[in-house]
Every structure is written in C-alpha cells, then in structure tokens.
C-alpha cells in the first residue's frame, strides 16, 4: 500500500510544479488547463472504460448529468478565483476546509451526528482557515503600492474571490454527498464515474472557448523549449501543459488504486499529505509571501484534519505492539 501512496504524492508534486509554472506566467490559464485535463481523461475513458460507447453505464446517465453540472461548476469557479486576487497558498488552504463543508452538509442533509472529538477537529480547521484568510485580507488592504481607490477595488475583488471559494467548497461537499448516495443505491463504480465526470462536461467548455483560444495563442507565443531525450522543440507553455495533463492523469489513477485497495483512513491521510505537499511547493519553490500567522493557520488546518481521521486511535495499538516486540540481544 505504501508504494501506491508514494506514487500519488510524487505525481501530485510534479503536477503542481508544472501548474504553478503556468499560473505564474498566465494567472488566467486555468480554463485551458482544466479543458486539457478533461479531454485527455475523457478520451482515455472512452476507449478503455466505455469500450468506444458500447458499454452501458451501471448508474443511470441522468444522475451523471446532475453530478457533472456540480463538478463543472466547482472547477470553473475555483479557476476564476485565481483571477480575483486570491493567492495560490490561500487558495489551497481554503480548499482544505472540505471537512467543514462535508460535515455541515452531512448534518443538514443526511442527519448525521459526530463525536465531540470530530467537532473539535473541525473547529481547529475553521480557526486555521480564518487565520490565513484574515491575514491575507490585511496584506491586500495594506498594500502601499496602491492608492486608496485602487486599494479598495482590489480588496473588493478579493472579497468576491473569497465568496467564490466558499460557494465552490459547499458545492463540492454537496456533490460528494450526492455521489455517496448514488454509490449506496447502485454500487461503487469509480472508474465509470471518473469517465462521465470528465466526458459529459466537454460541451460546456464551448462557453469558455474565447478564453481557451486566447491562452492557446499566448502559449504558442511563449519561448521555445527543447524537450530532453526526444529533442523536440516547442513553446515552453505547451510543454508545461502537456506535463501537467500527464501528471494529473497519474494522480487520478493513483487515487483510484488507493480507493479500491486501501482503507478510507489511508486515502484520507494521502489526501491530507497532498494538501501539505502542494502548500510547501507553492510557498518554498515559488517564494510566495507567507507570514508566521499563515504558518500557524496552516498548522491548525492540518492538525485538525489529522484529528478528524482519528489517526491517534490507529497509532495507539500499533505503538503498543511495537513496545511488546522482543528485543534483540
């Protein structure tokens, strides 16, 4: 199981490097990146999962259309948030609040009840996100390079970005609950869901065609880059995009392997580590501004997430067995 987890984390780390390179040069390129990822996964799924359209879906197609509408909305809103003065580290930390949204909607929709320990973990995550959000707001509001009018305008766009992230967070949690209910009714079909979640939204990208075409032109005008080994020369932004799509595919396939072979605790821990790896890459590799308050908020987010997974309960028996091992002479 460990190699699978490492496989996912290495793929995510590589994917983030190429994504951040692209976003650093063209902050609004999220749509062309998402479209490329969707197209690649849809083509692969059409060939190997849908058998060129000859295999009937196990879950009725109408449910996939509902799921896809939510999935497409979440992806687009998260992409546009980066254009609203939302820094990449804050974007990642804010999306770490998926536990909060899932728990809240689980209580409201599914009438679930949780232990005090889990509620405490959610409170920690909430405190961490609030700390990072508040400190980022102070940074935006106190930018001395802006006059009063421009500073107010930037801050209002930032507030709109926060609203967009909040909406996407809640919509993503609702989609998870909807998918959970479908799996209970029709059984688990993760590969099928992966294919339809990426194939059905493709016509929706027609609405974003001008933006995608615009960035395709910008990508073609970027500096030339010679690909190692094969010696092919192409614009460097297309190389970043191609590598991002490949590594994204590796990540999704790796997560699928984990969900089918590992316990839910292992999968949750890998997802938590993914967020940590992504955050560290964003801050250290690209030297994004990050204060001690941001680090404190980040610590709250990840400690709260680990508490939610009840890692300590699993470590207790393991440590007890380790202590009882006979010592070598």
What pLDDT band is residue 2 in, cutting at 50, 70 and 90? Answer: very low
- Average pLDDT across the chain, whole number: 75
Q: Is residue 297 part of a domain?
A: yes
pLDDT above 90 (res 213): yes
Distances (CA, A) of 95 to 56, 113, 260, 269: 34, 23, 24, 16
What pLDDT band is residue 144 in, cutting at 50, 70 and 90? Answer: very low
Q: Is residue 329 part of a domain?
A: no
DSSP H or E stretch at residue 186: helix 148-186
Q: What is the pLDDT of residues 46-104, one digit of tens each?
A: 998 888 988 999 989 999 999 888 877 887 888 788 777 777 667 767 766 776 777 78
User: Which residues fall within 8 angstroms of residue 33, CB to CB, at 6 or more apart?
Assistant: 19, 22, 79, 241, 244
Q: Is residue 234 part of a domain?
A: yes
**What is the predicted pLDDT for the residue at 137?**
60
Q: Is residue 177 part of a domain?
A: yes
The answer to whether the CB of 22 falls within 8 A of the CB of 29 is yes
The stretch 13-31 carries a mean pLDDT of: 61
pTM of the model: 0.66
User: Which residues fall within 8 angstroms of residue 31, CB to CB, at 6 or more apart?
Assistant: 76, 79, 205, 208, 211, 212, 215
What pLDDT band is residue 1 in, cutting at 50, 70 and 90? Answer: very low
Q: Is residue 290 part of a domain?
A: yes
Q: Of 62-66, 243-247, 250-254, 280-284, where does the model show the most confidence?
A: 62-66
Answer with the residue of higher pLDDT: 105 or 319.
105
Compute the residue count for the chain. 329
**Number of domains forming the structure of the chain:** 1
Q: What is the pLDDT of residues 106-126, one digit of tens each?
A: 888 878 787 888 788 878 887
Q: Is residue 240 part of a domain?
A: yes
**What is the predicted pLDDT for the residue at 146?**
47
Q: Is residue 125 part of a domain?
A: yes
The stretch 213-238 carries a mean pLDDT of: 83
Tell me the two tokens of residue 169.
């967070």
pLDDT above 60 (res 265): no
Q: Is residue 76 part of a domain?
A: yes
Q: Domain residues for 262?
A: 3-142+150-324
**What is the predicted pLDDT for the residue at 92?**
67
pLDDT above 60 (res 14): no
């Amino acid at each position: 199981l460990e190699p699978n987890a490492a496989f996912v984390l290495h793929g995510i780390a590589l994917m983030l490097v190429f994504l951040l390179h692209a976003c650093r040069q063209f902050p609004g390129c999220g749509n062309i990146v998402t479209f490329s990822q969707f197209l690649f996964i849809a083509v692969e799924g059409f060939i190997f999962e849908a058998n060129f359209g000859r295999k009937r879906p196990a879950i009725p197609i109408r449910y996939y259309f509902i799921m896809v509408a939510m999935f497409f909305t979440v992806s687009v809103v998260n992409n546009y948030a980066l254009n609203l003065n939302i820094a990449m580290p804050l974007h990642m930390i804010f999306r770490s609040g998926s536990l909060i949204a899932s728990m809240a909607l689980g209580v409201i929709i599914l009438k679930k009840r949780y232990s005090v320990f889990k509620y405490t973990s959610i409170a920690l995550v909430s405190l961490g996100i609030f700390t990072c959000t508040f400190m980022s707001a102070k940074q935006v509001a106190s930018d001395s390079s802006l006059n009063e009018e421009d500073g107010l305008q930037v801050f209002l766009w930032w507030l709109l970005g926060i609203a967009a992230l909040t909406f996407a967070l809640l919509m993503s949690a609702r989609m998870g609950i909807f998918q959970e209910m479908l799996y209970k009714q029709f059984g688990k079909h993760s590969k099928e869901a992966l294919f339809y979640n990426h194939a059905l939204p493709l016509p929706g990208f027609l609405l974003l065609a001008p933006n995608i075409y615009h960035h395709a032109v910008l990508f073609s005008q970027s500096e030339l880059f010679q690909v190692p080994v094969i010696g092919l020369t192409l614009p460097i932004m297309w190389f970043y995009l191609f590598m991002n799509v490949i590594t994204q595919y590796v990540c999704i396939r790796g997560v699928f392997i984990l969900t089918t072979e590992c316990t839910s605790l292992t999968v949750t821990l890998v997802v938590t580590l993914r967020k940590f790896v992504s955050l560290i890459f964003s801050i250290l590799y690209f030297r994004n501004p990050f204060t001690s308050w941001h680090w404190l908020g980040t610590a709250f987010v990840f400690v709260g997430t680990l508490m939610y997974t009840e890692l300590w309960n699993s470590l207790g028996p393991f440590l007890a067995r380790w202590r009882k091992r006979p010592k070598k002479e």
